[in-house]
Amino acid sequence: MKVEELGEFGLIRRITQQIARRAVECDASVIIGLGDDAAAWEKTSGVVEVLTTDTLVEGRHFDRKYTSWLDVGWKALASNLSDIAAMGATPSLVLVTLGLPYDLDVESVDAFYDGILECAAEYGGVVVGGDIVGSSEFFATIALIGKSSDALLLRSNAREGDVIAVTGTLGRASAGLVLLKNNLENGTTRTSVLRSAYARPEPRMSDGKLLVSHGICCAMDISDGFLADLGKLCEASAVGALIYASAIPIHPEVRRMFPEQFMDFGLGGGEDYELVFTGSRRIVDGLIKVLPSGGTIVGEIVQGQPGSVVVQDDSGCVINVDSTGWDHLLR
């Protein structure tokens, strides 16, 4: 069935029922959820709320040829959750706006929403509303509200002398995308970790909370590539950064599959959804031993042109990196 046969309100009803069937226990403070002009909720004092939004557009951020609608839905929410994780907050309410081509299958929308709901069941968030419009290409905008009763992790809190660390490993998602695009090793177990890093990113919710509880106050998520995002963090903090190339944690499968390019993937590849954070060496040393996703010190915050990031090899030589991240409007 095509969405144009069902119509907007039929589709909204369908999605509402779909959500109701899978209803996560709803936050008791939600007063108005789906079905009214707006969602409403009540907060007690002392709790800080955070709000973020992120959009996927077909043909720009994903391709149906190698991404299932289920995975598109998952990723649409996961990319927002990653922003909430990077604040050290906990997700609460989700608004979903869909732009849908007239001839899209309703089953695709079902699968898309299933992906959102699977991700929400795993990491949190209750869908409380949204909007559906017609458009020539598919897009999905999610607005996500989170909350925290602790301090927040801000980009602007890096200080000279801090060490720089990242969770997990870098470059998996961009390497996975290359495999998917070129249909390389499709179906092999060994490289599935790369494909799933691209298709099913895991927002670092627990890591974010742990950073806060250990007294870290500066972090952001790595969605546009490590160097590009670190540059934004440094710009916000009016500092520079020095990165040791050999310290970058690159997954062994990325090294094996791309022996010439692995460093470009690690430093420049997008969509890793790991966290980069800074803090005193003492705190970070202790912290990386207990982070659920693991952690690695990769450099230090230095005086310098705000936003400038220098990458050094083991002999202290500056390395030029080809790929410096993803800008949604530059071609």
Which residues inside 295-324 make contact with a copy of itself, applying CB under 8 A? none
- What sign does the CA torsion over 118, 119, 121, 127 have? negative
SS3 per-residue string spanning 308-320: CEEEECCCCCECC
Q: Which of 136, 213, 280, 305 binds a copy of itself (CB under 8 A)?
A: 136
String of DSSP letters for 128-167 = EEEEEEE-SS-EEEEEEEEEESSPPP-GGG--TT-EEEEE
When binding is defined by CB under 8 A, the residue of 40, 247, 297, 310 that contacts a copy of itself is 40
Q: Does residue 119 bind a copy of itself (CB under 8 A)? A: no
First-to-last C-alpha distance (Å) of the chain: 36
Q: Which is nearer to a copy of itself, 143 or 184 (CB)?
A: 143
Segment contacting a copy of itself (CB under 8 A): 153-161, 180-188, 194-202, 259-267? 153-161
Among 24, 26, 32, 319, binds a copy of itself (CB under 8 A): 32
Residues 231 to 290: which contact a copy of itself by CB under 8 A? 232, 236
Nearest CA-CA partner of 275 in 157, 129, 170: 170
Q: Does residue 75 touch a copy of itself according to CB under 8 A?
A: no
Query: What is the residue type of 277?
Result: F
Taking the C-alpha atoms of residue 62 and residue 111, their distance in angstroms, rounded to an integer, is 15
Which part of the chain contacts a copy of itself (CB under 8 A), choosing from 144-152, 158-166, 197-205, 242-250? 144-152
Cα–Cα distance, 307 to 39 (Å, whole number)? 38
Choose one: 15-23, 28-36, 168-176, 197-205; the region binding a copy of itself (CB under 8 A): 28-36
Tell me how far, at minimum, the Cβ of 115 lies from a copy of itself, in Å: 19
The reply on whether position 155 binds a copy of itself by CB under 8 A is yes
Q: 179 and 219 in contact (C-beta within 8 Å)?
A: no
Cβ burial of 27 (10 Å; 0-12, 13-18, 19+) is middle
Identity of the residue numbered 282: R
Q: Is 227 a binder of a copy of itself (CB under 8 A)?
A: no
Q: Does 20 bind a copy of itself (CB under 8 A)?
A: no
Question: Which residue stretch of 86-94, 115-123, 164-172, 237-245 sits at the interface with a copy of itself (rule: CB under 8 A)?
Answer: 86-94
Residues 41-60, interacting with a copy of itself (CB under 8 A): 41-57, 59-60
User: Does residue number 66 form part of the binding site for a copy of itself (CB under 8 A)?
Assistant: no
* CA atoms in the 13 A half-sphere facing the CB of 88: 23
CB of 263 to a copy of itself, least distance (A): 23
131 binds a copy of itself (CB under 8 A): yes
